[in-house]
Chains A and B, each alone.
Chain A
Amino acid sequence: MATTTAAPGAPTTKIGQAALEVDDRLIVAGPLRRTLNKVFPDHWSFLLGEIALYAFMILLVSGTYLTFFYDASMEEVVYEGVYAPLRGVEMSAAYESTLGLSFDVRGGLLIRQIHHWAALLFVAAIVIHLIRIFFTGAFRRPRETNWLIGVVLLVLALLMGVTGYSLPDDLLSGTGLRIISAIILSLPVIGTWAHWAVFNGDYVGTEIIGRFYIAHVLIIPAILLALIAAHLLILVKQKHTQFPGAGRTEHNVVGNRLFPTFAGKATALLFIVFGLCAALGGLVQINPIWLWGPYNPAQVSAGSQPDWYIGFLDGSTRLFPAWDINLPGDYTIPALFWPTVVGAGLMFTVLALYPMIERKLTGDTASHHLLQRPRDVPVRTSVGAMALTFYVVLWISGGNDLIADKFDISLNAMTWFGRIGCLVLPPFAYWMTYRLCLGLQRHDREVLEHGIETGVIRRLPSGEFIEVHQPLGPVDEHGHGQLAYGGASVPKKMNQVGGARRAIKGFFKPIEEPAEVQRQAELEARGLEAEQSDRQTISSGRPSEGGRPSEGGRPQAPRD
């Protein structure tokens, strides 16, 4: 013992000694240092998944609070709470307890509304995150597994939403429940049996709210948690992707270490997401169930819309033509089956299998850690735009009655717009996106070859006027730039290449020395960028590919 304390490097402070005691028992110093040193790339679009994670944390906390007051029972009770307009009305205990936690629990309404807003944000963040992953090619090998987990997470998030918003048992969610019942009934062959299994009998019964409740608070969250853990572990194991740029290769990650920079930013984002949900939950009313009233199968209100993420299914159901398929033996496949079960099933299956489909079609089986700019992969980008257009037409059609009402358009015309639009607009979006991608590609090449437009007009001795261009790198004898396109953003304005000096800081009076700022700027110019430019500024780190990240077998754009 005496030798240990005397050993060089032994902790002298109290906290250091405590840390030594901990590490002596748990051996955490090594893993902790590796974690703190982990490098995270620095791009805003990598924060979208984090928003989803933080929304999920808010949902867990606020949802747990709500369970203290919620009663998942369909027993009929008479309301006697503080909300006078519904006093004396017969309703289910579920609806009564939701009213109770909104009106009788101090701050309960705030938490309920935070929970609802966080749920909307959760699905939205997942969808935007998925779109980012898709358009930048981040799902390519070796990340297919995480893509698959992500799609399953999205489906589970939708199920969480449906089971969650059904729980208050109000008139709006009851209408949704009725449609869920009809969708289950529409399954060929097993429809009625499946319905009897889920609802424990004919619609509506007395079990369904209790069953949805346990699915919403236990079964689905448990699967979600496990899958989120797997999603993050795989992410840490495989490390982040990054956009091509100075010093970035297929074999490294450039960015900030976890501690303290990235941890600070991530924590800040957590607080901002939580703050937005809290402000929305307090200031912006959502799902005022006391206005809808208790569920009654004979009643409905006009303009019944589900939460936004189910809107596309509502839309597809509205658009699908009245096509029952009558089979011999008086059996029927109802029209409802196609847009809901088959439609949604197909959409999510294609989505889940997309990495495999693209790998098959392009023959690109290489590992990719550098992202692609959407313009560089016009086919994928256009396919994505096509799918998004289809989705958006369905989504708009989910609210076509509101649009018809507010803009005084015929409801039937809105339906026909959706029916024709969901077939015609996606190919149009494909064509337009493809042209946009090619145009952007050509502009990148043009700037690399001819330089940035400076806006300076010069008159030649011959009398001809030309605009002066600033080359981005070395030029050949014709004045054409020699830099190859490396998949990174090309500066197109003089300010992006240091055409303007940084503004001197200070609101009322300058708090910096202008000379010092100038010196700093010069230092910066000799910093990382200058150092990297010596070794081929923008490249994938794979000289075999001529400095370009994988071509991926995509159709080659004509280049000048």
Chain B
Amino acid sequence: MTTTDRNPGSAGGDRASGPSHGGPDDEYTPAQLAAMDRTELDRLGARYDGVEVLHVEPGPVPGSALEKQATRQVTMWFALAGVFAVAFLVVYAGSGWFLPDWEWEVGAAPWSALFTPLLGLAMGLSLLCIGIGLVQYVKKLLPHETAVQDKHDGSHFDRVTTGATLMSGLDKSGLPRRKLLLGTIGGMGVAFGAMLIAPLGGLIKNPNTGNPLGTTSWAEGVRLLRDDGTPIRPGDQQPGSLETVFPAVAGGNFQADAATMLIRLRPEQQLSEEPREGQSDFSYGDYVAYSKICTHAGCPVGLYEQETGRILCPCHQSQFLVTQGAKPVFGPATRPLPQLPITVDDEGYFVARSDYIEAVGPTYWNRERI
């Protein structure tokens, strides 16, 4: 191997340890350290780390009744943990093998309903037993030691020398003097940062293209369909009832803004009805149709109390009065639910006379302008 020996780094090397780190290695020779016992070495190292062990309350005397009892307890907890872990495995792997099937079916064996609770119980108890066993170990078998560690503030020496290193680097770069370079780097940084985040522009879309917020699928002649797709005639509903209807277009019953409530007023409600200005002909006989999307936060306003004619939004408890153009009478909503103008087509089914005349759903900055 004489050839490789000539290459730098391949020859020599130090088989023995390098020079010691100074500090404690200079103060304590290996021979001195070898003369100390384990506790002394432990304390010595601790002292070197700024830790002083003040007081040690020894654990139970080895061989004493106290120690035997504590050991028995800790052993029992860990053994229990193992037993529960095995129980978990048995339930997990055994279900569908030598135990009943775990898969849940309506009317299936009770085992499938117990499967997840048993798994959780076994796993939970196993982990808890380990935890309790460890606590018992620390409390009953370990010596209780009180130690104090010094807390140091920052070092003045470090601050001054580090500051000097940083500032001398800055001086060497000459940047404070080279104003044009500094300005260019600043400008470059801004442009560079803008370039890095620019691709996020792909997220931006124009919300005003095609006015999606101001229009729904309702239009003149579009039938009102139930969720199951059947059309509705006047007289299908009892007075005082509410039916959620959707526009007769493809996927109409999944559209987020088209859901509408078709409400048949009771005779006395019809007498006291005060529609919104200019919308008195939006109803058809004793039928009125309002948007189901709350004008507050967009939840479906689902709960209709026919006694009082109030519709309640279950999300934030806005309440709307159907006999007064669904105006908000309580809660955080500020605007009435938009009303859908309805009539009946030549086959006698309900149809819309047009789209909503205002935007449905929650309020936003430029809603009035749409």
> A residues within 8 Å of B by Cβ?
1, 3-4, 7-10, 24, 33-34, 37-39, 76, 82-85, 103-104, 106-107, 109-110, 113-114, 175, 178-179, 181-183, 185-193, 195-198, 200-204, 239, 247, 250-257, 260-261, 264-265, 267-272, 274-283, 296-304, 314, 317-324, 326, 329-336, 339, 367, 369, 400-401, 411-412, 415, 505-506, 511-512, 524, 527-528, 531
Contacts and interface: CB of A to CB of B under 8 A. Distances in A.
Nearest to B128: A275
B13 to A, nearest CB: 12
B51 A37 contact: yes
A191 B207 CA distance: 10
A265 B140 CA distance: 12
Contacts of A339: 332
A543 to B, nearest CB: 18
Contacts of A247: 54, 148
The 5 closest A-B pairs by CB, nearest first: A282-B120, A279-B124, A275-B127, A271-B131, A298-B259
Contact of B153 (A175, A200, A299, A367): A367
5 contacts: A9-B31, A179-B297, A182-B298, A196-B207, A272-B135
A267 B205 contact: no
A421 B279 CA distance: 40
B6 interface: no
Contacts of A192: 207-208, 213, 364-366
B236 interface: no
A282 B117 contact: yes
Contacts of A512: 65-66
B30 A335 contact: no
Contact of A186 (B120, B146, B257, B364): B364
B331 interface: yes
A510 B150 CA distance: 42
A408 to B, nearest CB: 16
A321 B298 contact: no
A279 to B, nearest CB: 3
Contacts of A275: 123-131
A182 B296 contact: yes
A505 B72 CA distance: 14
Contacts of A267: 134
Interface in B247-306: 253-257, 259, 292-293, 296-300, 302-303
B124 A276 contact: yes
B45 A33 contact: yes
B369 A330 contact: yes
Interface of B: 15-17, 30-31, 33-34, 45-46, 49, 51, 53-55, 57, 65-66, 69, 92, 95, 102-106, 116-132, 134-135, 137-138, 142, 144-151, 153, 203-208, 212-213, 227, 244, 246, 253-257, 259, 292-293, 296-300, 302-303, 312, 314-318, 328, 330-335, 361-369
A365 B236 CA distance: 76
Contacts of B244: 298
B150 A251 contact: yes
A204 B138 contact: no
Contacts of A412: 317, 330
Contacts of B69: 505-506, 511
Contacts of A110: 116, 119-120, 123
A255 B55 CA distance: 11
B317 A336 contact: no
Contacts of A511: 65-66, 69
Contact of A298 (B130, B292, B361): B292
Contact of A178 (B49, B66, B297): B297
B178 to A, nearest CB: 34
B34 A271 contact: no
Contacts of A188: 365
A8 B65 CA distance: 40
Contacts of A24: 17
B138 A254 contact: no
Nearest to B21: A30
Contact of A528 (B49, B55, B120): B55
Contacts of A201: 205, 212
A277 to B, nearest CB: 8
Given A322-B328, A324-B363, A82 B104 contact: yes
A369 B151 contact: yes
A272 B128 contact: yes
Contacts of A531: 55
A196 B206 contact: yes
B148 A252 contact: yes
A272 B119 CA distance: 17
A243 B14 CA distance: 51
Contacts of B312: 411
B148 A401 contact: no
